[in-house]
Amino acid sequence: MKKLMFYGLALLVAGGMAVSPACSPSKEANDIIALKEKIIALQNQGELGFRNFTICTNITGFGSYVPAESPVFKSGDQMHVYYEPDNVFTGRRESLFEVWYTQDMVVLDAKGEILLNKADALDFHYTSKLPVLDLYATNSLNFTGLAPGKYQYKAVLKDKLRNKEATKIVEFRIE
């Protein structure tokens, strides 16, 4: 019986020392990590901006939204904006990846007067062991009490790690 326990213990220890294929990265996994590093390097060199900036009637997730037929709304309606921040800087701290951006929301009337100025309405600060490559953001505006007329919506994207800004302006109308 002692001999059987000894062999069982020896097998258990030997099994614990064996490296399972699931624990060591495959060649494909290493290739993917290398590609992600290249993508981060390209994004970090690229110009900060907005991709797929779209006025929508509904947004359900990344790349999943229903564009508005036209930027015309009624008082009390809600406008949704979808966009993907382009080339937000990814920082490295020890073994962590960090992304941090904010976004201002500004509404102007036809004369250019500011009706709404919400600084840092969106604040995305994310730190993880794996890089975040695809980002999206949404904004919602309620037009209750807004008089009929032409307006502009201005989004100001601020990359906090690179200290850069990008601005996007779209026009809309209230009937």
Per-residue pLDDT tens over the stretch 71-127: 999 988 999 999 999 999 999 988 999 999 999 999 999 999 999 999 999 999 999
Query: What per-residue confidence (pLDDT) applies to 113?
Result: 96
Structure tokens at 147: 């008089």
Mean pLDDT of all residues in 137-145: 93
The Cα 2–Cα 49 span in angstroms is: 70
| % of the chain residues with pLDDT over 90 | 74
Q: Residues 9, 11, 13, 16: is their CA dihedral positive or negative?
A: negative
Query: With contact defined as beta carbons under 8 Å apart, do 162 and 89 qualify?
Result: yes
Query: What per-residue confidence (pLDDT) applies to 77?
Result: 92
Query: What per-residue confidence (pLDDT) applies to 22?
Result: 54
Domains of the chain: residue spans and CATH = 50-174 (2.60.40.2550)
